[in-house]
Amino acid sequence: MTSKQMEYYQAVCRAGNISTAADELYVSRSVVSRTIAELEEEFGTTLFVRSRTGVVPTASGTLLAHLFDSFLTSCGTVKDRIGQMAEQVEQPLCLGVTPTNAYCIYKTYLEGFRSLYPDIQLYVTEHSAYDCPKLLLDGTIDVSFSPVKPELDMFGCLDLYQNPIMLGAAEGDRRLGEKVGITDLIDLPLGFYNARMPLEQLLTASFAVMGKKPRVMLRTSDQMLLRELTLQGKIYPILPLDMMAIWEGVRQIPLDFFQSSTNRLIWNQALSPAPALSVFLDYMKKQVL
């Protein structure tokens, strides 16, 4: 299996037609057909379903396409790294955070790292947790702080902390006690962060059993607005603890019927880490001992 075979295979997957792929690659149709036949022989399976109009990947073919895509992307990233090393260019360490964990990650880990290693430049950027694996593969970010564990074995993961789901209420609000069941949420004006969380599906399904729908009054990425309306008693936000813990005047009520998430440090271990990344990973591992 060669990089050229992977390139040809991916072109066929994109085009859905061997002749079209051959035209895009500026090679003959027979060359592309022979490449597909060689790969099918190597993996011992049919990779495409052929028809008069084109080809469609089989389940095995789709799996192989994902593998080739990850490999080619990582290969490109490695070439860029080697080029930077040859030019002796020290790039900033790019860290991906999510909208909900950014403040907690900075205060708990990054502030201390910057104090210990002032010469290592950090660049922090915010992304959806579901986008982080792709960004790690293509080298956009070096590490990610995320509650979503990637499926591919090429990623290294370090569990950092449990993050329970909480209901926010003004400290003087006596409508709710110290413990809340899911039926207590019926008819409450709820607030959510703009980035949808998996718990919303569970909440909607639970309400549907009771013939109800969650009464969502606000969905925003503005944390100040969420906190202000909570203090006024106009909404009750459902958010991870690490996002609400710093809100003065707001008490956090555990919602034990929602499973806590685990925030993790994730990196692409298929790539040889740059010196700054090695230092950062060693630092983070010491924080959880």
Q: What is the DSSP string of 189-232?
A: -EEEESS--THHHHHHHHHHHTT----EEEEES-HHHHHHHHHT
Predicted confidence band of residue 107 (pLDDT cuts 50, 70, 90)? very high
Predicted local distance difference test score (pLDDT) of residue 85: 54
Q: What is the mean pLDDT of residues 265-287?
A: 89
The dotted CATH code for 90-163+262-287 is 3.40.190.10
Burial-class residue 48 by CB neighbours within 10 Å (0-12, 13-18, 19+).
buried
Which tops the pLDDT comparison, 92 or 82? 92
Burial-class residue 159 by CB neighbours within 10 Å (0-12, 13-18, 19+).
exposed
pLDDT digits (tens, 9 = 90+) for 111-153: 999 999 998 999 999 988 888 888 998 888 999 999 888 887 8
> 3-85 has which fold?
Arc Repressor Mutant, subunit A (1.10.10)
Q: In this model, does residue 235 exceed pLDDT 90?
A: yes
Q: In this model, does residue 274 exceed pLDDT 90?
A: no
State the residue for tokens 């069941």.
181
Identify whether the C-beta of residue 100 lies closer than 8 Å to the C-beta of residue 243.
yes
Q: Where in the chain is the domain with CATH 3.40.190.10?
A: 90-163+262-287, 165-258
If we measure between CA atoms, which residue out of 63, 32, 34 comes closest to residue 47? 63
Predicted local distance difference test score (pLDDT) of residue 271: 77
Report the C-alpha gap between 61 and 75 in whole angstroms.
21
- Partnered with residue 122 across adjacent β-strands are 93
CATH number among 3.40.50.720, 3.90.700.10, 2.60.40.650, 3.40.190.10, domain 165-258: 3.40.190.10
Predicted local distance difference test score (pLDDT) of residue 94: 93
Which tops the pLDDT comparison, 83 or 105? 105
